[in-house]
Every structure is written in C-alpha cells, then in structure tokens.
C-alpha cells in the first residue's frame, strides 16, 4: 500500500487508485467548507472557521465520498454538497458540546467558548447549522427530510445524555440509545447521502445507512473501552477521563449491573464522579480485571460483525474492503 496515496485518510483504504480519488475529492470538500464558513462580517467568519480550521479527520465527509463509489456518479455535485452538509452539522454540534462541557480545548486549540464566550459559541453553532440547512435545501425535499430527522435524533441523544434513565428503564439500553442518536445518526446519514446522491440502488443505500449507524455507535463504544484500558503513552489518551467526569460508559454500566457482593467497592466508586486520583487509579485497576471489560469488547466486536454482514450487497473490491476493514479497526482499535 502506498503511503503517499493513503496518508491523511481517516478510513483504511488499501486500493491506491481509490485512495487517490478520495484524497482529491476530499480536498475539494475542504475548499468548499472554507467558503461555507464565510459570513458578512470578519468576526463571524473567523469564529465560524475557528473549529473548522483546527483540523479533524473529516471522517463523515470521507464516508460520504467512499459510499458514493457504490453508485454510477461518485463525483456528482450533490455528493460534494452533502459531504459539506454532514461536516457542517458535525462541527456545529461541537460548538454546542464545548459550551455544555465547559471545555477549554478542542483538537489542541482553545474552544470557541474559551476564545470568545459562550454566547458567541452557541450562536456560531447555530450559524453553521443554518449553512448546513441552506445546502440541504439545494439537495431537494428528500434530503431536507433526512437532515431534519438526523438533526432531531442527534439533539435528542444529546438531551438524553444529561438525564437519568426513566424508572424501569435499563440504564445500559438508555445509554445505547444516547450513542445511537449522538454519534450513529449523523454517520448513518453520511453513508446514506453518498450512496443516494451517486445513484446507488435503494438496497445499497439502506444497507450502507444501517452500516453507518452500527459502526458510528461502535466507534463511541470502543472509545469507552479505551478510556479504561488504554495506556496513555501508547494511545495518547488519559485513562479514566470518563470516571473523573462521572460519565456512564459501556463497561462501567455493565460492571454496575453486577450482583456479586465482591463488586460492591467498584460499584461505590462508579456511583459518581471520582475526584481523588488514588480512587481513579483504584477504579481503573478494578475495572481492568472485571469481566465487564471482556463483555464490552465482545459487544463491540459483535456490532462490527453485524456491520460487515450488511456489506454483502456490495461487490468485492476496494470500497467493500475499506468499509469492512474500518469495522474491524473500530472493534480492535487501540487509539
């Protein structure tokens, strides 16, 4: 595999010709995004470009472009516009996330709320949502319907994340619904848009949308596992971040469901945010040795297999191989 051909792509693409096409088209999307963040005033333009220009893997627009390879018109104008739609929507949501999380940094740079203020960050997020809506209107009524549904699911997932499960509701099922909404919905739409606007068959469009939902959610769930299992030197992540913030995750929820009295100490630690670093270390040690970790990993691997099974509607080749490999990467990722 050529390093030059695949460097910088957020998806594992072995086919060199395919990788080169995706890089060229992604560069076009990048130029379009720079234009869509421009406003009537310099202040708004700079604030809107703040997170967009901070980098990011551009995974969602890349998935649009890859999914478009399943249709006869992978370079259609609508494919490029829809790639911008999903990235504008994603980045807009990050502005709002950073305000809610009171985050000082995003991708190594100050967040908009840190550089400007909360009001500006929220309104810039709204501005980018507006830009995304303008573009979606150009794509026709079906795209408007899909985008509205996606946005609703994304926001509902964000809301549910901040509330306790309803009485009688399984906390793990509640969390999986949050992940489906917050993460899976927009990735599903990315795959759907690419295939749909490239003219792929309805069967392929639906299969790729379902693949996107599963893989998108599984990516977040594998991140949950990494937060506990990773070594910061190897992964670049600080283990226990979710524990410190009291954020429920796949392995912690599985551990909390235990009825074994031997787990009482771990369950007490997981009952809320852990502010003492010695207790964070204790919780990490207990979790790493707990069967919940194996169960969580097995769950993510099963999700990856389900996603790969959906790709049987595609012919064998570079596109299918890239999507299958990505599902495997999600299931066994270490960073």
Tell whether 314 and 181 lie within a shared domain.
Answer: no
Spatial neighbors of 199 by CB under 8 A, at least 6 apart, are: 71, 72, 73, 76
Asked if residue 63 lies in contact with residue 212, where contact means CB atoms within 8 angstroms, the answer is: yes
pLDDT in tens, 217-237: 999 999 999 999 987 545 456
28 in a domain, yes or no? yes
What does the pLDDT average to over 310-332? Answer: 94
Q: Please check whether residue 4 lies inside any domain of the structure.
A: no
pLDDT band at 6 (very low <50, low <70, confident <90, very high): low
Last residue in a domain, options 171, 200, 229: 200
Q: What is the CA radius of gyration of the chain?
A: 20
Contact 68, 76 (CB under 8 A): yes
- Boundary-marking domain end, from 200, 222, 241: 200
Q: At which of 165, 182, 200 does a domain end?
A: 200
Q: The domain spanning residue 240 has which CATH number?
A: 1.10.600.10
Residues 328 and 219 in one domain: yes
Tell me the pTM. Answer: 0.92
Q: What is the mean pLDDT of residues 17-27?
A: 96
176/217 same-domain check: no
Q: Are residues 110 and 179 in the same domain?
A: yes
Task: Judge whether 1 lies within some domain.
Answer: no
What range does the domain containing 77 cover?
13-200
Same domain, 75 and 184: yes
Q: Residues 131, 208: one domain?
A: no
Looking at residue 100, its pLDDT comes to 80
Least confident stretch, 164-168, 208-212, 215-219, 296-300: 164-168
- Whether 263 is in a domain gets the answer yes
Domain total in the chain: 2
- 105 assigned to some structural domain: yes
Same domain (yes/no): 135, 172: yes
CA separation for the pair 122, 143 (Å, rounded): 25
User: In this structure, is residue 2 part of a structural domain?
Assistant: no
Residue 8, in any domain of the structure: no
Residues 184 and 324 in one domain: no
Residues 239 and 195 in one domain: no
């Amino acid at each position: 595999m050529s390093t030059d051909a695949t460097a910088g792509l957020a998806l594992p693409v072995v086919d060199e010709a395919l990788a080169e096409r995706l890089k060229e088209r992604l560069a076009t999307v990048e130029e379009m995004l720079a234009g869509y963040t421009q406003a009537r005033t310099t202040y708004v333009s700079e604030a809107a470009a703040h997170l967009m220009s901070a980098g990011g893997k551009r995974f969602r627009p890349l998935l649009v472009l890859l999914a478009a390879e399943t249709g006869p018109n992978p370079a259609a104008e609508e494919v490029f516009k829809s790639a911008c739609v999903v990235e504008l929507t994603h980045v807009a949501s990050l502005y709002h996330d950073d305000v809610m999380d009171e985050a000082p940094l995003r991708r190594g740079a100050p967040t908009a709320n840190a550089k400007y203020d909360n009001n500006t960050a929220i309104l810039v997020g709204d501005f980018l949502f507006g830009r995304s809506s303008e573009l979606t209107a150009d794509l026709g009524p079906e795209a408007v319907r899909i985008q509205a549904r996606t946005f609703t699911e994304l926001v509902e997932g964000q809301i549910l994340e901040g509330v306790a499960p309803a009485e009688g509701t399984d906390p793990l099922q509640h969390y999986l619904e949050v992940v489906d909404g917050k993460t899976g919905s927009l990735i599903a739409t990315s795959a759907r848009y690419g295939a749909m606007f490239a003219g792929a068959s309805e069967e392929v469009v639906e299969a790729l949308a379902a693949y996107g939902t599963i893989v998108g959610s599984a990516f977040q769930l594998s991140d949950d596992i990494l937060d506990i299992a990773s070594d910061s030197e190897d992964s670049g992540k600080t283990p226990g971040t979710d524990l410190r913030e009291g954020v429920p995750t796949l392995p912690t929820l599985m551990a909390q469901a235990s009825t074994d009295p031997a787990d009482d100490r771990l369950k007490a630690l997981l009952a809320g945010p852990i502010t003492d670093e010695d207790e964070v270390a204790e919780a990490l040690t207990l979790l790493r040795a707990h069967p919940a970790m194996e169960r969580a990993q097995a769950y993510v691997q099963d999700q990856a297999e389900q996603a790969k099974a959906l790709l049987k509607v595609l012919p064998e080749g570079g596109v299918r191989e890239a999507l299958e490999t990505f599902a495997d990467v999600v299931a066994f990722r270490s960073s």
